[in-house]
Amino acid sequence: MILTLKNTFAEIGNATVFAKQFFKEVFVPPYETKEFLKQCYVIGYKSLPLVAITGFIMGLVLTLQSRPTLVKFGAESWLPGMVALSLIREIAPVITALICAGKISSGIGAELGSMKVTEQIDAMEVSAINPYNYLVVTRILACTLMVPILVFFADAVGIIGGYVGINIHGDVNFYRYLTQILQSLEFLDIIPATVKTFFFGFFIGMIGCYKGFNASNGTESVGKAANSAVVTASLTIFIIDMVAVQITDLFF
Amino acid sequence: MIKEKENTEPAKKSKKQDPIIVIKDLHKTFGKDNKVLQGVSLTVNKGEDLVILGRSGSGKSVTIKCIVGLIEPDKGEIKVFDENVLNLSKPELNVIRVRIGFLFQSGALYDSMSVRENLAFTLKKHKRDLTPEEVESEVMEALDNVGLSDAIDKMPSELSGGMQKRIGLARTLILKPEIILYDEPTTGLDTITSREISELILDIKHKRKTTSIIITHDMACAKLTADRIMVLKDGVIHAEGTYEELEKDEDEWVRSFFQ
Amino acid sequence: MDKQSGYTWKLGMFVTIGLLLFIMAIYFIGKQKNLFGSTFNITSQFKTVSGLEVGNNVRFSGINIGTVEEIQLINDSSVVVRMVIKDEVREFIKTDARASIGSDGLMGDKVLTISPGVKSTKVIENGGAIASVNGIEMQDLMKSVKKSVDNAAVITDELAIFSHSMNTGNGALARLVRDDKMANSVSNTLSNLESGTKGFSENMEAAKSNFLLKGYFKKKEKEKEKKKEELKEQKEEQQEKAEKAKEEKAKAEKEKAEKAKEEKEKLEKQKAEDAKKAQSEKGK
């Protein structure tokens, strides 16, 4: 029991050191621009279809599920505003982050894990290429910047999904629908939610890299690294979300 | 006692011969009581091919990984080009690392890149002012050296084990290192391919005048490439000499390698 | 190189569209809150803002034209509300426009409504102030209602006492209303009285013809006639006077009417000219 606890703390400590190294190296040349762009492409563009489909379904389902309750109170006209609010404030960021944890975090964990196991990372090290700079910094940075953009897409597609959901039962003009949404939105709904997604992105990338980079030698550990990256990243997303909502609640 | 004598005598001799790598009393323990190195001392002279023999887990790989700073020893001293590797800062260490080539057991090609990119990547990281044409010609030259210039656009997963090692060697050579460390270059290959690799090592030695440490337990390879052989046992240098000397060594354990 | 450009354009498109979505959201929400585009400020002073909040809509002719920007208490009985209004509606808001606070919808969101004035043709300045109409506060309404309710209570109380005494009291009126006997006796009394007075007048006639009293009655008659004559004369004089006065009055009225007509014509002319001027200025 105590040993497990101690190991957990040791893990957190190591991860913190790992993250600290990111901030130390991110501003120091050489900048791996090409690799960074490639990772942005892999993390951002390649995840888009998955995120878009999930976002659409979330918007649609949320609309259909909330409708009966609102109809009971005779507040059906609030449906667009309510769906948009819950999408933008909470659902789109968290769902997108969880999907990215599943897709990106595990991908990075497996990729770096196998590179570690097959000595590719050592090979970089001995040819005087900083593997941290080349592999880790680019991936964490790409994650941190791409996840918020994916969330914007999820927001937009989710709102379209909500529109489809509303039109199943009634007939609402799209322009009117958008106006209703914009009327119910404020900066306070968008800004904290967006800031939150940067943290999501950072931790998704950081945990994936940390788990992969610290895979022990052996093929089995690659799978372990990928798996524990997903689990840890998902858990971390919920923790960050809770903290973020409380902070938002406190100040605004 | 005899072994110690043998150990120190060539060291004295080699000092006159311009030593390039000097290791003194290297200790390394993994975990709590997995004592891998217990006082390894060795010297490599310029232009010499040193073969380190030993059974699996005897600490051969750990020794050469210590030389390039991949593993930090618990105790001891490593001098490469008269610089103490263990006391260097990261940028200083990287200067030394560029002058040392390291061929990994598996070849360690970056599997997300093609052969061309593998070679060009390493080159471009160190010589940023090269034009694409210069990079291309250097890559071709390195591949010519290992006789695989037609594999330039293949991915590492499409290559056989022997080819991967040769590409790995080409990637090591592209930076024109003065020292090359081979980590089991022939392991997992058939006899003919092993022979090809061994000849390649010899060829490089003659062409580029490099100094090498070769870790192996393949006697054919050792016979072909070795100027001098050291046998590692229980974390210390157990025997040392030329191939012919050790073949007739009085220690049965040493002789068992040559059978 | 080809391989690189193969993905960079996709990445570029991805990032551009993503950021565009974000910027659009920010822009449209900002527009909703009048953060962008040209606006101007006006203020209005209220006694009470009835729960109006910063960010509530400002309406003019039922259209949302701006938002409440600031609500400031300046002393114990007045609140200054500053609102931000789109520049494009500025020409319709004149200096005599009035602001009032009302409720919007079922949930009771407050809105500030600007009603157009009647007379002024001057467009409001940036930072200008407009008058406010203090909305009928529920409390005031209740007060006046209470007063009339109180009065009604007093009236009904008294009415009740009155009808009660009518029904049960022994007063004359009450008995008159209730008691048949009493009613009969009253009517009997009245008929008796009638016949009584008849007899009396007959007696008087008889007395006139009596010689003892003849002189007295003659004297009385003479006086009566004299008085009649005097009255006649007075009446004639009064009539003459009245006729004269009537004539004079009519004359004066005629003159007055003519003057008024002239003035009216003048005024109308001026008004038309003013309107023309205003139009030409507007055109400019």
**In the sheet that B211-215 helps form, which strands lie side by side, from edge to edge?**
B100-103, B179-183, B211-215, B49-54, B228-233, B236-241
Whole-number pLDDT of residue C2: 46
Whole-number pLDDT of residue C138: 61
Choose from A17-26, A212-221, A226-235, C185-194 the range with maximum mean pLDDT: A226-235
CB pairs under 8 A between A and C: 55
- The tokens for B257 are 């390698």
Whole-number pLDDT of residue B1: 39
**Integer Rg of chain A from CA:** 21
Q: Where are the domains of chain C?
A: 39-135, 141-178
CB–CB contact A126 B97 (8 Å): yes
Q: Is A252 in the C-facing interface, judged by CB distances under 8 Å?
A: no
Taking a contact as any Cβ pair under 8 Å apart, which residues of chain A between 124 and 163 contact chain B? 124-129
Domains of chain B: 19-256 (3.40.50.300)
Which stretches of chain B drop beneath a pLDDT of 50? 1-15
* Residue C33 pLDDT grade (very low, low, confident, very high; cuts 50, 70, 90): low
* Residue C1 pLDDT grade (very low, low, confident, very high; cuts 50, 70, 90): very low
By DSSP bridging, strand B49-54 and strand B211-215 are: parallel
Asked if A119 contacts A185 with a C-beta cutoff of 8 angstroms, the reply is no
> For C225-253, how does the pLDDT look when each residue is reduced to its tens digit (9 = 90+)?
888 888 887 887 788 777 777 777 777 77
Whole-number pLDDT of residue B194: 84
Tell whether the model's pLDDT for residue C106 goes beyond 70: no
Q: For residue A48, which residues of chain C lie inside 8 Å, CB to CB?
A: 14
Task: Determine the Cα–Cα distance for residues A151 and A225; give it in Å rounded to an integer.
Answer: 26
Q: Give B132-135 contacts, CB < 8 A, sequence gap 24+.
A: none
CB–CB contact A118 B108 (8 Å): yes
Q: Cite the DSSP H helix spans in chain B.
A: 2-16, 60-67, 90-98, 115-126, 132-145, 161-173, 191-208, 219-225, 243-247, 252-255
> For A127-182, how does the pLDDT look when each residue is reduced to its tens digit (9 = 90+)?
888 888 888 999 999 999 999 999 999 999 999 999 998 888 877 788 888 888 88
Whole-number pLDDT of residue C35: 62
Whole-number pLDDT of residue B15: 44
Whole-number pLDDT of residue B144: 81
Tell whether the model's pLDDT for residue C104 goes beyond 90: no
Nearest to B106 among A111, A118, A128 (CB): A118
Host H or E run for residue A115? helix A106-117
* Residue C108 pLDDT grade (very low, low, confident, very high; cuts 50, 70, 90): low
* Residue A54 pLDDT grade (very low, low, confident, very high; cuts 50, 70, 90): very high
Supply the pTM of this predicted model: 0.69
**Integer Rg of chain C from CA:** 43
Please report all neighbours of C, defined by 3+ CB atom pairs within 8 A. A
Residue of chain A with shortest Cα separation from C26: A187
Percent of chain C at pLDDT > 70 equals 87
Task: Determine the Cα–Cα distance for residues B90 and B94; give it in Å rounded to an integer.
Answer: 6
Average pLDDT, chain C: 79
Residue A135 DSSP symbol: I
Nearest to C14 among A44, A182, A185 (CB): A44
Whole-number pLDDT of residue A153: 93
Amino acid letter, C34: N
Interface TM-score (ipTM) > 0.85: no
Asked which of A193-207, B5-19, C180-194 is least confident by mean pLDDT, the reply is: B5-19
